[in-house]
Structure 1
Amino acid sequence: MPLTAKLLVGVVVCALVLTLADRCAVLYAEREAAERLRADLDLAAAPEVEIHGFPFLTQVAQQRVDRVDVTVPDVAADRVSLARVHATAEDIELSGDSPAAIDGALVGALRGDVLLSFDDLGRELGASQVRYRKLDDTAVRADGTVPVAGQMLRVRADARLQRDGGRGVSTRISNMLLDVPEVASYRPGPGAGLRLHRPAAERIVRDAAKARALLSVPAIADRIGVPQRRIDQALRSDARLTELVGSPRFVQLLMGVNLVDVVRDHPWLLEKLGLDPKLLTALTALRLPELSERLALSFHLPEQARDVRLRDVAVRADGIHARLTGNGLPFGAARER
């Protein structure tokens, strides 16, 4: 074989050996970096780490890596877990002069994104019957069922997102409504309201005994806005009662009456209206802050990532998204110095 060919083969073989050694060093460094991140951030599992740039050993010799991508599933973030955290670290200063001796790093700049998935929220919050979806770019709609006094009631509420100190997201719960199917809806909190659904109101006006029981309560008569003279006539005459309650307008008026304090003062009226007295007692005993806490989507980045900040929090179809930013972030031995 000519000398030139031998030299060419030798160069190719050396290049292949060096490339293989470099890639082996990268794989080793990626595995070690993943384990170090898992320990530093107290993760349940090691993240995926991908080190960019070639050759890697030259970067190690210079103690500087251009770029590293990190993907972490299921990061504990207060009451919930972030379904996915992806970050790109750039301009990384290494501590150690060989892949086996690297014990820390100082990240010049970190950019990334996090996802709090709607699919995981019911399980995470211990309310598996509640589902979450996008309401708009800054709010989430919670919709499902919750147990109250042995019954499953439909619950609906809106959770408006707001930044919390740059490292977390809190929610303000509003428009909460608890629904007794085909009977009534209860709105907790200041100015609590209990209002009949149309099917319940129509059942009452079709039943003369129930209609008379309802009209015999002065507070209800006042709120419906019917003159007392007509009420008295309806209580004495079936024909006048049918005339009064038989119109669609009366059903609409009845649905608009807030019954909270009325049934509290006249508990016997509950059974007439088709409501379980125990259920109303349980509903009125509910406190809005406690209900809001059960549905809150608030989360904070773990303390171990105290130098990272959240930006551009937004609601999308699959969950709550936010950007991650950070500069001058120490890891491993660099954090201790």
Structure 2
Amino acid sequence: MLREDPGDENAAEPPWQPPNHRRGSRRRRARFAGLPLAAKALVALAVAAAFLVLADRWALLYAEHEAADKLKDQLNLSAAPEVDIEGFPFLTQVLDQRLDEVKVTVPDVAADRVSLAKVSATATDVTMKGDGPTSLTGAVIGQMRGEVLLSFDDLNRELGASQVTFTGHGRDKVYARGTLPVAGHDLKVRADARIERNGERGVATDIDRMRLDIGDMATYRPGARESEGLHLSRTGARRVADESSQAKALLAVPEIARRLGVPDGAVREALRSDAKLNDVTGSPEFVDDVMRLNLIDVAMGHPALLKRLGLDPALLKGLDDLTRPVLVDRLSLSFELPRLPGEGAMRLQGVKVEEDGIRVGVEGYGIGFGG
């Protein structure tokens, strides 16, 4: 019987060769070559369109960057604004030298004593100056509409060094509440501000109902009217009436006694007898009369008397220097938008107080930027 030689089986196997990857590529080229002409054209168009879209987006980003830099330079901004050019494709708008719509957002715009948290605007009918996206020299805005936000958080940070906070109340009022340091004393401050538009580019605040409380002893209201000045509170006046030494100190000054309406004979008796003093200070009119005394006037002629009433003479001097214009200036929220270049016009519209701050509408026409 014959046996098979295992060596013959190995001899029948073909030798190993590395894989030929070019066969697959040749097959793919063969498949593409086998496509109809219309399909080839569609593929070529898709590739060309993709490159055109990329070129369009690159030109758009470049133009937005250039526009942001020019706005930053011309408006003296601390940071470049955010510029978004709307519409597609962009290059066709460049060829026409007219943009349909441009949105601009500018944060932290300096406006007098305050910073505007955000100025946002949408410009339409924008005519470009320059030969292309890489050579823009400027633009003219046909129409612009937007809004300005004055944030209460920013106001509290910028004007609240004395720990005064601002909150909205109603459509046009802002409350200022907090403390104010005067001559080493922290006084509670309260004021109401009414917000209104001032001219074409400004917002004004009418500060009213200003008062500084010296604990529960007295209240200072800046101004020259009879109800203004430094006056004892009802609690402070009652304390003076109940404290015989303080009441006698008041009655011992003839000018003050006459202001309180106490006859000379009653004054003499009150200074000699506590019972008679109680008759004077216990009358319903006495506390009201003491509250009407302007202690600033009293301090001018009788500084020692005020010290006996428990009031610091240095504090009274500080309050006398804190006139109404000075306090109004410290609490004012007024601002004015910077002037824009060119011959165009820009003006503020409605002013509205909201929870987060003061919002003001803005519109403009024919505003030019660049060369």
- TM-score between both structures, scaled by the size of structure 1: 0.89
CA distance in 2 between partners of 1:128 and 1:61 (Å): 56
Match of 1:303 in 2: 339
**Count of aligned positions:** 333
Picking from 365, 368, 371, the partner of 1:327 is 365
Unaligned runs of 5+ in 1: none
- What do the CA deviations read for 1:68-122 (whole angstroms, capped 9, x no partner)? 1000001111222111000000011111232101211111100000011121124
How far residue 248 of structure 1 moved from its aligned partner, in angstroms, is 6.7
Picking from 267, 285, 304, the partner of 1:268 is 304
CA distance in 1 between partners of 2:78 and 2:250 (Å): 60
Match of 1:258 in 2: 294
Q: 1 or 2 for the larger relative contact order (CA 8 Å, sep ≥6)? A: 1
Match of 1:182 in 2: 216
Match of 2:137 in 1: 103
CA distance in 1 between partners of 2:187 and 2:341 (Å): 40
Unaligned runs of 5+ in 2: 1-31
How far residue 271 of structure 1 moved from its aligned partner, in angstroms, is 1.4
CA distance in 1 between partners of 2:178 and 2:247 (Å): 32
CA gap of 1:305–1:145, structure 2 versus 1, over 3 A, is farther
8 Å CA contact retained: 2:111, 2:336: yes
CA gap of 1:317–1:248, structure 2 versus 1, over 3 A, is farther
Q: Say which is worse superposed, 100-109 or 278-287, in terms of deviation.
A: 278-287
How far residue 314 of structure 1 moved from its aligned partner, in angstroms, is 2.5
- What do the CA deviations read for 1:41-87 (whole angstroms, capped 9, x no partner)? 11100011111001111111111110010000011112221110000
Match of 2:232 in 1: 196
How far residue 126 of structure 1 moved from its aligned partner, in angstroms, is 6.8
8 Å CA contact retained: 1:200, 1:273: no
Q: Say which is worse superposed, 19-28 or 111-120, in terms of deviation.
A: 19-28
Q: Say which is worse superposed, 121-130 or 71-80, in terms of deviation.
A: 121-130
CA distance in 1 between partners of 2:302 and 2:170 (Å): 42
How far residue 230 of structure 1 moved from its aligned partner, in angstroms, is 4.6
How far residue 229 of structure 1 moved from its aligned partner, in angstroms, is 5.1
How far residue 319 of structure 1 moved from its aligned partner, in angstroms, is 1.9
Match of 1:112 in 2: 146
Match of 2:190 in 1: 156
- The 3-state SS of whatever aligns with 2:134 is helix
8 Å CA contact retained: 1:65, 1:94: yes
CA distance in 2 between partners of 1:149 and 1:68 (Å): 53
Match of 1:317 in 2: 355
Q: Equivalences for 1:158-173 in 2 at 5 Å?
A: 158-173=192-207
- TM-score between both structures, scaled by the size of structure 2: 0.82
Picking from 50, 68, 75, the partner of 1:16 is 50
Is 1:77 paired with 2:106? no
CA gap of 1:13–1:119, structure 2 versus 1, over 3 A, is same
Match of 2:62 in 1: 28
Match of 1:237 in 2: 273
How far residue 228 of structure 1 moved from its aligned partner, in angstroms, is 5.2
Code of the residue aligned with 2:239 in structure 1: it is R
Picking from 79, 88, 92, the partner of 2:122 is 88
CA distance in 1 between partners of 2:165 and 2:284 (Å): 35
8 Å CA contact retained: 2:351, 2:361: yes
CA gap of 1:330–1:305, structure 2 versus 1, over 3 A, is closer
CA distance in 2 between partners of 1:321 and 1:219 (Å): 53
Picking from 172, 179, 196, the partner of 1:145 is 179
8 Å CA contact retained: 1:234, 1:244: yes
8 Å CA contact retained: 2:270, 2:280: yes
Match of 1:213 in 2: 249
Is 1:286 paired with 2:330? no
CA distance in 1 between partners of 2:110 and 2:134 (Å): 30
CA distance in 2 between partners of 1:123 and 1:217 (Å): 47
- What do the CA deviations read for 1:129-158 (whole angstroms, capped 9, x no partner)? 222222443333222222222222222223
CA distance in 2 between partners of 1:124 and 1:318 (Å): 15
8 Å CA contact retained: 1:49, 1:68: yes
Code of the residue aligned with 1:56 in structure 2: it is F
CA distance in 1 between partners of 2:365 and 2:340 (Å): 15
Q: Say which is worse superposed, 315-324 or 199-208, in terms of deviation.
A: 199-208
CA distance in 2 between partners of 1:137 and 1:101 (Å): 46
8 Å CA contact retained: 1:219, 1:262: no
- The 3-state SS of whatever aligns with 1:127 is helix
Larger Rg computed on CA atoms: 2
CA distance in 2 between partners of 1:115 and 1:252 (Å): 46
- What do the CA deviations read for 1:278-315 (whole angstroms, capped 9, x no partner)? 21122123332222222222211113457321111232
